[in-house]
Amino acid sequence: MSLIILVCGALAVFLLVTSAWEPVRNTLQNRYVIAQGQAEQSLRAAAIYTLTPVRLVQLRALAAVTALFLVLVMSGNLLIGLSSAGLASFVPVWWVEHQRVRRLQRLEEVLPGALDQLTNSVRAGLSLAQAIEEVAQTGPMPANEELAIIAREVQLGSRLVDSIDAAQARIGGRFFPLFATALRMNIERGGNLPEAMQRMGESFREIWRLEQKTITASAEARKSMRVIGAMPAVVALLVFLMQPDLAATLTGSLAGWLVLAVFATFYGVGLFWLKRLMSTQA
Note down the domain range covering 63.
2-89
Of the two residues 245 and 120, the one the predictor is more confident about is 120
Same domain? 36 vs 51 = yes
DSSP character at residue 274: H
Same domain? 43 vs 121 = no
CB distance 93 to 80 below 8 Å: no
User: Do the domain assignments include residue 268?
Assistant: yes
CB distance 90 to 60 below 8 Å: yes
Same domain? 193 vs 137 = yes
CB distance 114 to 136 below 8 Å: no
pLDDT of residue 102: 87
Same domain? 79 vs 151 = no
Q: How far apart (Å, rounded) are the C-alpha atoms in residues 89 and 68?
A: 10
Q: Which of 27-36, 75-84, 260-269 has the highest mean pLDDT?
A: 260-269
Beta-carbon count within 10 A of 189 CB: 7
Same domain? 189 vs 253 = no
Same domain? 174 vs 205 = yes
User: Do the domain assignments include residue 155?
Assistant: yes
Q: What are phi and psi of 49, to 5 degrees?
A: -100, -5
Q: Does the pLDDT at position 193 exceed 70?
A: yes
CA 73, chain centre distance (Å): 31
Same domain? 246 vs 269 = yes
pTM: 0.67
Q: What are phi and psi of 75, to 5 degrees?
A: -115, -30
Say what angle helices 91-123 and 53-74 make with each other, to 10 degrees: 150
Q: What is the pLDDT of residues 120-179, one digit of tens each?
A: 888 888 888 888 888 888 888 888 888 888 888 888 888 888 888 888 888 888 888 888
